[in-house]
Amino acid sequence: MKNIFKIIYLTILLLAAMHQVKAAEKVDLLKTDWSFKGLFGKFDRGSLQRGYQVYTEVCASCHSMKYLSYRNLYEKGGPEFSIEQAKAIAASFEVTDGPNDDGEMFERPAKLSDKFVMPYGNIKEAQAANGGAYPPDMSVLAKARSGGVDYIYSVLLGYEDPPSGITLEDGVYYNKYMYGNNIKMSQPLYDGSVEYNDGTEATQEQMAKDVATFLMWAAEPHLEARHKMGFKAIMYLIILTILVYFSMKKIWSRIESEV
């Protein structure tokens, strides 16, 4: 009898879990092999550097990344540009600093310690320039959408002509993977949108994968450190658990022999 109920309960649990997964992913997202998944997952340096290139040349004209600093570009676990490269990247942007001793604000080239320069001064300005839609900040975007990087990758590749019977307003585009299928961003990536410095062929899929990888790192800059530490911590815990198990057996054997 006991078993019957355990079975019933496990079945319900399983059904519930399955259903939840099904409900959460009504449209199957496009999948690609991410190097950063799994126990030892690491970012692909080349992909991160290319992803940064796609971000600056394509996305950055509308999307800010306000929580990232230029120094992050050379820090360990990221794109790992050399410190000189990172300085040069920073210096190519102008930031407003001040006030100086005369009480005036002034423009200067960005330094490593500066945050990524934002394309718009404020949200209203961003909305005004984009037909009322605010291009979301991309710093944590990869964690802020269910489906994560897979979702971003899919949306970037999900533009298609609307099915017959659906008419779209001006400035609205049809995207297979976007919630509600309507998106106010026009298709951002076409084959050859950027010319990669490392010679990789800039196909749509390649760029989408690179920029999604870059966004994952931006959202989770310590992912590599986390995976590394996690493996060590769990190995340590498993070994300690085994030792404590045998100590426990030894201690309890004093009692159990008396019974």
Partner 1 sequence: MSDHEYVPKSKFGKWFNDRLPLLSLASHLTDYPTPKNLNYWWTFGGILTFCLIIQIVTGLTLAMHYIAHADLAFESVEHIMRDVNYGWLIRYVHANGASMFFLAVYIHIFRSLFYGSYKSPREIIWIIGIIIYLLMMAAAFMGYVLPWGQMSFWGATVITNIFSAIPFVGEGIVTWLWGGYSVGDPTLTRFFTLHYLIPFLILGLVVLHIWALHIPGNNNPIGIDVKKPSKDTVPFHPYIVIKDGFALLMFTIVFAFFVFYSPNILGHADNYIEANPMVTPAHIVPEWYLLPFYAILRSVPDKLMGVIAMLSAIFVLAALPWLDTSKIRSAVFRPLYKQFYWILVADVLILGYVGAMPAEGVYLLIARVATAYYFIHFLIILPVLGSKEKTIPLPLSITEPVLESSLNSPIIKKKESLN
> Where does this chain bind partner 1 (CB under 8 A)?
1-2, 5-6, 8-9, 12-13, 16, 19-20, 23, 39, 67, 72, 136, 139-140, 143-146, 148, 179, 219, 221-222, 225-227, 229-231, 233-234, 237-238, 240-241, 244-245, 247-248, 251-252, 255, 258-259
Q: Which is nearer to partner 1, 39 or 105 (CB)?
A: 39
Minimum CB separation from partner 1 for residue 219, in Å? 8
Beta carbon of residue 39, minimum distance to partner 1 (angstroms, whole number): 7
Contact 156, 211 (CB under 8 A): yes
Cβ proximity to partner 1, 108 vs 232, nearer residue: 232
Distance CA 89, CA 83 (A): 10
To partner 1, the closest distance from the beta carbon of 209 in angstroms equals 20
Using alpha carbons, list the distances in angstroms from residue 53 to 38, 95, 105, 207. 26, 20, 30, 9
| Closer to partner 1 by Cβ: residue 20 or 92 | 20
Is the Cβ of residue 72 or residue 175 nearer to partner 1 in the bound state? 72
Kindly state the smallest distance separating residue 228's Cβ from partner 1, in Å: 9
CA distance 40 to 206: 23
